[in-house]
Amino acid sequence: MKIVFAGAAREVTGSCYYLETSKARFLVDCGLFQGSRIAEQKNEADFPFVPSKLDFVLLTHAHLDHCGRLPLLYKRGFRGKVYTTEPTVDLVQLILEDAAELITEEADRHNEEPLYSMPDALGIFKLFQPLPYHKPHSILGVEFEFYDAGHILGSAEICLTVDGQTLAFSGDLGNPPVPLLRPTEFITKADYVVVESTYGNRRHEDYHLRKSRLVSAIKKSIAKKGVLLIPAFALERTQEILHEINEVIEAGGLERFPMFLDSPLAIKATAVFRQYPNYYNQDAAAELTKDIDLFTFPGLKMTLTTEQSKAINKTKPPKVIMAGSGMMNGGRILHHLRQYISFPNTSVLIVGFQVEGSIGRQLLDKARTIKIFGEEHQVKAETEAIGAYSSHADQPKLMEWLTQYRVAPKKVFITHGEQSASLNLAEMVSKDLHYPVEVPQLFEEYEL
């Protein structure tokens, strides 16, 4: 069996693994590279395989850096099945429709050929086949099973067996405990392991502090009659923050304040979350018996249309605006940044990973100016980050996941992290667990 690391190798985005057996050719994930012009060039490049000859795809979850090149795969000839969990099917449809629309708009703006278009996104949807967790499925000699990764709604780890050899793919591992999802599950037996390393060299702050820090940021912004901007990751982070604000308001910890969810994608994703309470953890499921809607509260307005989004400016501060995208590399958050980033009573609250090259990363690195729509803007706003809102496992949790193997794997491949994070985790895995470990380069190939 052969594996080719066709993305997320010594970088965070572009997850894509090509596997070839005596009977099958298939992928685990097919995500977009994100963050820079170099990423765009990688997206446009040829795949290191022939899409039309692929038999199927296994998809871990609905984030764009894991599913975002699926329409391109379809455009270039793929017609096999895409297997994933049921919530992921619904979420991916939203994500890819949104991506196709933005890609087409950007291409039209620059008079270029789009990477893919809406017909490609609609085409790939028809190939999806949902499967539940813990139901083994076999196709062309490949037996696979989904485990709950606890990362976002419907996220999966994948354990597959071919010719007596077992491979485990972590996908993106979650950061439990979280308000809505069940804890990350462990795979305990595999000959080969492919594990993410987004936070492979870092430890998150105490989970128990995150809600109090969120409330503190809101109260501080209200007190100085400012604008609090929260770049929204449409899947999971948005729903967790809405849920926690709802809890605090119901408990009397916050008075009513004007808040806007200005992300059509996040609004639609929240509707999907309401459809799958059976994927929630016990605490969240129990809350549903007391609160019919975990994601709304007095003062919250959801702005779907462009006109509603523009009208937010008519509401005088103080106000909170949560808008996409989470890394500030597109979406409505850019319009709000352009409007408010140069005012000292503005605050930007970052609640997730910011890839190199993104505006979010520049703000975290204390940039004095940023470019928005090609124009320079002075940064006078205060930037704060709450690492505990990350939906990724940190280094201790990655190590905990890896220690569950009853017998040492023949090899651990570390991917989906900036090079420094991947190498740091590799060193720890080798030193502390004594597992053979590799940090593959892009397009590197291994015989298993």
CB of 309 within 8 A of CB of 339? no
Kindly state whether residues 41 and 185 are assigned to the same domain: yes
Kindly state whether residues 108 and 229 are assigned to the same domain: no
* 261-to-134, 296, 354 alpha-carbon distances in Å: 35, 10, 20
Kindly state whether residues 404 and 365 are assigned to the same domain: no
Q: How many domains does the chain have?
A: 2
Kindly state whether residues 182 and 283 are assigned to the same domain: no
Kindly state whether residues 23 and 100 are assigned to the same domain: yes
Q: Is 218 helix (H, G, I), strand (E, B) or coil?
A: helix
Give the H/E segment covering residue 143.
strand 142-148
Report if pTM > 0.85. yes
Separation between Cα atoms, residue 128 and residue 171, nearest integer Å: 18
DSSP string across 30-85: EPPP-SSHHHHHHHHSPPSS-GGG--EEE-----HHHHTTHHHHHHTT--SEEEE-
Separation between Cα atoms, residue 291 and residue 430, nearest integer Å: 48
Give the H/E segment covering residue 92.
helix 86-109
Kindly state whether residues 28 and 53 are assigned to the same domain: yes
CB of 139 within 8 A of CB of 56? yes
- The residue from 389, 408, 424 where one domain ends is 389
Kindly state whether residues 158 and 12 are assigned to the same domain: yes
Kindly state whether residues 295 and 378 are assigned to the same domain: yes
Kindly state whether residues 441 and 341 are assigned to the same domain: no
- The residue from 374, 389, 404 where one domain ends is 389
Separation between Cα atoms, residue 112 and residue 114, nearest integer Å: 6
In 110-134, where does DSSP find H-type helix? 118-125
pLDDT, tens digit, 9 for 90 and up, residues 273-299: 999 999 999 999 888 888 778 999 999
- From first to last of its 448 residues, the chain has per-residue pLDDT tens of 999 999 999 999 999 999 999 999 999 999 999 977 788 899 999 999 999 999 999 999 999 999 999 999 999 999 999 999 999 999 999 999 999 998 998 899 889 999 999 999 999 999 999 999 999 999 999 999 999 999 999 999 999 999 999 999 999 999 999 889 999 999 999 999 999 999 999 999 888 889 999 999 999 999 999 999 999 889 999 999 999 999 999 999 999 999 999 999 999 999 999 999 999 999 998 888 887 789 999 999 999 999 999 999 999 999 999 998 888 988 899 999 999 999 999 999 999 888 888 899 999 999 999 999 999 999 999 999 998 888 999 999 999 999 999 999 999 999 999 999 999 999 999 999 999 999 999 999 999 9
Kindly state whether residues 262 and 299 are assigned to the same domain: yes
Kindly state whether residues 80 and 10 are assigned to the same domain: yes
- The residue from 341, 359, 389 where one domain ends is 389
Q: What CATH number corresponds to the domain at position 348?
A: 3.40.50.10890
Kindly state whether residues 240 and 190 are assigned to the same domain: no
Q: What CATH number corresponds to the domain at position 425?
A: 3.60.15.10
138 lies in which domain range? 2-202+391-447
